[in-house]
Amino acid sequence: MERQSVTSSNLASVGYEPETETLEIEFIKSGVYQYYNVPAFMYERMMSADSVGKFFNAEIKNVYAESKM
């Protein structure tokens, strides 16, 4: 999955696969994780948020199933 760099103190890059609704996030210190069944609108909201990291913490983290790659 292709990821694009983001400006964040915690996240390095973010990618999204709409067919499987999989969000992939590369963290600066802890590696790459995938989040499952994330609707496309959530990815779009995250990428347009003033703070990608704050959006992740509030709307993605501990909400969607995840696995470390």
Structure confidence at residue 23 (pLDDT) = 98
- Name beta bridge partners: 31: 27
pTM of the entire structure? Answer: 0.95
Q: Find the mean pLDDT for residues 4-22.
A: 96
Give 1's pLDDT tier (boundaries 50, 70, 90). Answer: confident
**Tens digit of each residue's pLDDT (9 = 90 or more) over 17-62:** 999 999 999 999 999 999 999 999 999 999 999 999 999 999 999 9
Spatial separation of the C-alpha atoms in residues 63 and 1, rounded to whole Å:
22
Q: Are 53 and 8 in contact (CB under 8 A)?
A: yes
